[in-house]
């Protein structure tokens, strides 16, 4: 182990220990030892078992469901690290909850994404490492450096290994066109866009498809699958318009509310997601066509570059 790695510590909250294990395997280090528990009254307690004084520390904790519990655990963990004299603390957020509350689109509502970014900074974070934010401009909500990774290399590798022909990447809404175009250009494929109108926070209506899907193997790409209403309706319309097959792909498998029921009855040949949010065995059993792709190497390489003061932007340019 090099002297540089001797100064590096990667801890895991309870949000996604499997991903942290994969990251540490990539870095060829063991995860930092810590203990977190919830008292009977609901209060959280965190204790470190490794010395972090003067160390470069990364704490991996997605703020997925249970969102508020995972968020508070991240804040308490970073406060613990700061009080234990860590030299630098990087909050590794594979999934950033509250990202969709990023603006005031009506009166008397909060901008919770900004509030959460302030809390993370005040708790002790010197830097943030995250992946596929719902809106890239959320990086500007933080008053500390943010490294915004993409899961694209993991998905691109997977799609290329499938060796299917005549592929069209489909954006499930106009706001996601940039992401879908990036994949289409990477794979040398066509692009189509779903014309969607959202009627509420959980309901959207698909009106039309801009582009050609007839006879195509469709890959519908998005940053997350939440209630799955949009992607499932879009998949059915693609099949009705003559698509040969439809695959759903999203970085973050939020799978809220009726998502599992909708996905299990939708005409997906495959649903590919990243491991930014842990999934239970029950979810995997419910969705036999689910494929989970590892992002451990992407996070691991970014952590190594940050720790060794090497360029992370060159990693972004590779992703882009």
Give per-residue pLDDT as tens, 219-251. 999 999 999 998 999 999 999 999 999 999 999
Same-domain pairing of 36 and 57: yes
Same-domain pairing of 113 and 15: yes
**What's the pLDDT at 318?**
46
Same-domain pairing of 272 and 211: yes
The Cα–Cα gap between 159 and 136 comes to 24
Asked if 196 is an active-site residue, the reply is yes
The Cα–Cα gap between 126 and 132 comes to 20
Same-domain pairing of 61 and 156: no
Same-domain pairing of 239 and 305: no
- DSSP annotation of 96: -
Closest by Cα among 251, 296, 248 to 277: 251
**What's the pLDDT at 5?**
54
Same-domain pairing of 269 and 175: yes
Same-domain pairing of 50 and 138: yes
Same-domain pairing of 287 and 202: yes
Q: Where is 236: in which H helix or E strand?
A: helix 229-240
**What's the pLDDT at 1?**
43
Give yes or no for a contact between 137 and 102, defined as CB atoms under 8 angstroms apart.
yes
Token pair for 128: 């943030």
Token pair for 7: 């100064």
Task: Please pick, among 9, 47, 178, 196, the residue that the annotation labels catalytic.
Answer: 196
Same-domain pairing of 147 and 18: yes
pTM of the model: 0.93
Specify which residues 205 forms β-bridges with: 197
Q: Spell out where the chain has E strands.
A: 8-12, 34-38, 44-48, 56-60, 88-93, 127-131, 146-149, 167-171, 190-198, 204-210, 217-225, 245-253, 270-274, 290-293
Residues of the chain with pLDDT under 70: 1-6, 196-207, 316-320
CATH number at residue 282: 3.40.50.2020
Looking only at the bridges linking them, the beta strands covering 204-210 and 190-198 are antiparallel
Same-domain pairing of 10 and 146: yes
Angle at 229 between CA 237 and CA 217, to 5 degrees: 40
Same-domain pairing of 160 and 274: yes
Closest by Cα among 278, 241, 273, 223 to 64: 278
Give yes or no for a contact between 193 and 180, defined as CB atoms under 8 angstroms apart.
yes
Which structural domain, as residue segments, surrounds residue 35? Answer: 3-151+296-319
Same-domain pairing of 189 and 315: no
- Using the structure block, give the residue that is written with the tokens 């809390």: 119
- Total tally of structural domains belonging to the chain: 2
């Amino acid at each position: 182990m090099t002297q540089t790695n001797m100064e590096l510590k990667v801890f895991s909250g309870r949000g996604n220990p499997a991903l942290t294990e994969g990251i540490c395997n990539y870095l060829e280090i063991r995860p930092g030892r810590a203990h977190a528990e919830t008292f009977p009254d609901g209060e959280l307690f965190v204790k470190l078992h490794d010395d972090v004084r003067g160390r470069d520390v990364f704490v991996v904790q997605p703020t997925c469901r249970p969102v508020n519990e995972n968020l508070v655990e991240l804040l308490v963990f970073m406060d613990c690290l700061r009080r234990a004299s860590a030299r630098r603390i990087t909050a590794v957020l594979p999934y950033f909850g509250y990202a969709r509350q990023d603006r005031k689109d009506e009166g008397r509502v909060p901008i919770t994404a900004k509030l959460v970014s302030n809390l993370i900074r005040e708790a002790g974070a010197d830097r943030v490492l995250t992946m596929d934010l719902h809106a890239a401009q959320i990086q500007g909500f933080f008053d500390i450096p943010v490294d915004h990774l993409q899961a694209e290399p993991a998905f691109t590798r997977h799609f290329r290994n499938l060796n299917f022909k005549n592929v069209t990447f489909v954006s499930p809404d106009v706001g996601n066109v940039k992401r879908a175009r990036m994949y289409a250009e990477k794979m040398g494929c066509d692009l189509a866009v779903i014309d969607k109108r959202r009627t509420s926070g959980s309901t959207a209506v698909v009106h039309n498809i801009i582009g050609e899907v007839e006879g195509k193997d469709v890959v519908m790409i998005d940053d997350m699958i939440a209630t799955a209403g949009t992607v499932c309706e879009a998949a059915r319309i693609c099949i009705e318009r003559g698509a040969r097959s439809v695959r759903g792909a999203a970085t973050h498998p939020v799978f809220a509310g009726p998502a599992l029921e909708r996905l299990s009855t939708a005409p997906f040949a495959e649903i590919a997601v990243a491991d930014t949010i842990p999934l239970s065995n029950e979810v995997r059993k419910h969705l036999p066509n689910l494929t989970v792709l590892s992002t451990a190497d992407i996070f691991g390489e970014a952590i190594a570059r940050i720790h060794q003061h090497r360029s992370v932007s060159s990693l972004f340019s590779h992703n882009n």
